[in-house]
């Protein structure tokens, strides 16, 4: 896919009314902060200044630059028609497009929809001991989540699967991880978000992509009325 004067290699996944895109900085041309931030909003420029870690700062700049490039080239919308706003939790949105993005250790991930609320999370795997897994998941994971980790052939991969599922769903509903994460889990067969308190499926799907067992991407989106659940 040709974006402007460069060729940006990325992977695309299509779902009903949804486009998912992901790539890695190692595949992308080096660019200056001045060029990356040329069309940034005041909020984005101020947010960029807050980053202390240089890698994370560059990922933020490149992901927000690439966000605009993808919308322009995949949806044929010019910069002039894109009005970006941000929710109280920092989720970006536009009047013409629902979208979300995430970045981790060079991985950049995006999700777009004209009709549905969406969320996405990417995490590169960092080694965690069993005690680390228990400690981190202690306030976020349900008993079902813990059981899935215990029986998994690769506990670390399963941990990041569940973590990214919860975060992508939280971002889709506009709350990040500021919701009762223990009360929901994702049915891995149908990829449907389940309300554990009321024991019924919610109108959300959540799917996961594993990248060479070194990173995990999960993305959540509303279930359309036309789709059979």
- CA-wise closest residue to 53 among 17, 104, 89: 104
Provide the mean pLDDT of the chain: 88
pTM: 0.89
DSSP-assigned letter for residue 50: H
**Whether the predicted pLDDT of 225 surpasses 50:** no
CB atoms within 10 A of CB 216: 26
Q: What is the pLDDT of residues 190-221, one digit of tens each?
A: 999 999 999 999 999 999 999 988 999 999 99
- CA-wise closest residue to 121 among 16, 19, 18, 216: 216
Q: What is the pLDDT of residues 67-89, one digit of tens each?
A: 989 988 898 887 567 676 777 76
pLDDT for residue 90:
67
CB contact set of 105 (below 8 Å; sequence gap of 6+) = 55, 124, 215
């Amino acid at each position: 896919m040709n974006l402007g004067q460069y060729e940006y290699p990325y992977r695309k996944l299509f779902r009903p009314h949804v486009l998912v895109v992901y790539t890695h900085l190692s595949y992308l041309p080096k660019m200056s902060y001045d060029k990356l931030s040329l069309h940034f909003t005041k909020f984005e420029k101020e947010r960029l200044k807050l980053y202390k870690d240089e890698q994370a700062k560059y990922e933020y700049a490149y992901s927000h630059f690439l966000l605009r490039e993808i919308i322009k080239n995949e949806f044929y919308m010019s910069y002039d028609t894109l009005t970006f706003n941000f929710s109280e939790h920092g989720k970006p949105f536009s009047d013409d497009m629902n979208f979300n993005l995430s970045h981790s250790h060079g991985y950049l991930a995006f999700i777009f929809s004209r009709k549905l609320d969406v969320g996405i999370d990417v995490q590169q795997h960092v080694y965690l001991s069993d005690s680390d897994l228990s400690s981190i998941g202690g306030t976020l994971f349900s008993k079902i989540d813990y059981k899935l980790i215990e029986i998994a052939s690769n506990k670390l991969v399963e941990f990041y699967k569940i973590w990214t599922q919860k975060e992508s769903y939280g971002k889709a509903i506009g709350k990040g991880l500021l919701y009762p994460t223990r009360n929901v889990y994702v049915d891995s067969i149908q990829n449907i978000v389940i309300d554990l308190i009321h024991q019924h499926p919610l109108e959300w799907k959540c799917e996961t992509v594993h990248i060479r067992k070194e990173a995990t991407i999960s993305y959540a989106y509303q279930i359309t009325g036309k789709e059979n659940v």
